[in-house]
Each structure stands twice: as structure tokens, then as C-alpha cells.
Amino acid sequence: MTNSPLSPSSPSSPSPSSPSSPGIQSPNFALSIHSSSSTTTTRQLQCILAGGLTGAFEACCSYPTEYVKTQLQLDERSTTGRRYAGIFDVVRQTVKSHGPLGLYRGLSVLVVGQVPQSAIRFGVFEALKRQLLLHFDDENTSKYNGTLPAHLKMACGLGAGVVEAVVIVTPMETVKVKFIDDLNSKKVTFFTYFV
């Protein structure tokens, strides 16, 4: 009885996992690595985009209070006497002079800073979380099964906050205060956040 060409014992049909074909890996293995990497990249981009949109929305909602706070801080340091009696006086005088939209004067500076600030915060957090998971959940051990405990998530948040503060928050806060202060001067110096 002769062996069929399709018989498992036939030498013409070696299995990818057989000892006679070292170095040949199953295409499913390479596909799973590529798929995992692609999913991770997509997830990080989604987090960065979500962070940027959240930052813009947050800036638009909270800016009037930021404007009033900055005006009061600048008024306390004024050498020509106090202009405002308090929070509601800032609102009243601003609305009287510039209308309700006057409370949004200088908003562009905050939006330009807030969008990358939130994007960096979300993106760095996800990147740090992924690195910790890769460190603890490698192919040999699966310590956390894809979910970090609270203390490591806190560490990721701390790292993201430090990067965010150094790269974006400090310079943009300086620009924002100068911009709002300039709006109160008789001769406006800054027309955009770059000049």
C-alpha cells in the first residue's frame, strides 16, 4: 500500500511546527502581534483626541471664572488703586463695558493651551499604563491580567501630570495672565499668543 500525497506521513507536506522546519512561524502568530500593536496605537490616538476635545470644552465652560479670578489677582497688585469691589463687581463692569462676551476675552489663549494640555495628559497616562502592563504581564507571567491596581494607576496619573505641567501648563499660564493683563491696558501690545 502506497502513501497518499496528502498523507501526514508524506515527506512533501511538512508541518509548520514540525522539527524539520525550524524558524518557520505560523502566520497567525505574526498577525496577532501586528493586530495588537495596531489596536494599541488606535487606542492611544483615541485617548489623545478625546483629551483634546475635553480640554477645549472645559476651557469654554470654565473661562469666565478664570477671567474673573485673573482680573482680581491683577487688581490686587495694581499701583493705581483698586478697580473692583469683588467677584460680582468684575462681572458687572465687564458686561457693562464689553457685553456678556466680554467675559470670554482672551479665551483663545486658554483653548490653545488646554487642548494640548489635556491631550498630553491622556496620552502620557495611556502610554505609561501600557508600559507597566508590558513590564508586569509578559509572556512568562501574568501578574495583573491586563488591569493595573489603583496604586500603579495613581503613579501613571502622577507621571502624566508632571509631564503636562512642565510641557504645557507653566508656559501657557504665563501667556494667559499676560494676555488678560494686556487687554486692560490702554494700548494693547499682544494681538496673538505668539507676539
The string of pLDDT tens digits covering residues 130-187 is 888 887 766 555 666 777 888 889 999 999 999 988 888 888 888 777 777 776 666 7
Measured CA to CA, the distance from residue 184 to residue 180 in angstroms comes to: 7
Q: Which residue has the higher pLDDT, 9 or 125?
A: 125
Half-sphere exposure of 159 (CA within 13 A, CB side): 15
The amino acid occupying position 89 is D
- Kindly report which listed range (37-51, 52-66, 67-81, 120-134) carries the lowest average pLDDT score: 37-51
- Kindly report which listed range (2-6, 31-35, 87-91, 183-187) carries the lowest average pLDDT score: 31-35
Helices 107-136 and 27-76, axial angle in degrees (round to 10): 140
Mean pLDDT: which of 58-67, 86-95, 111-120, 183-192 is highest? 86-95
The amino acid occupying position 18 is S
8 A C-beta contact, residue 55 and residue 168: no
Superfamily of domain covering 49-184: Mitochondrial carrier domain (1.50.40.10)
8 A C-beta contact, residue 125 and residue 160: yes
- How large a percentage of the chain has pLDDT more than 70? 69
Task: Indicate if the pLDDT at residue 60 is higher than 50.
Answer: yes
Measured CA to CA, the distance from residue 176 to residue 114 in angstroms comes to: 11
Give the global pTM.
Answer: 0.54
- pLDDT, one tens digit per residue, over 97-106 is 989 998 998 7
Residue 133 phi, psi (nearest 5): -65, -40
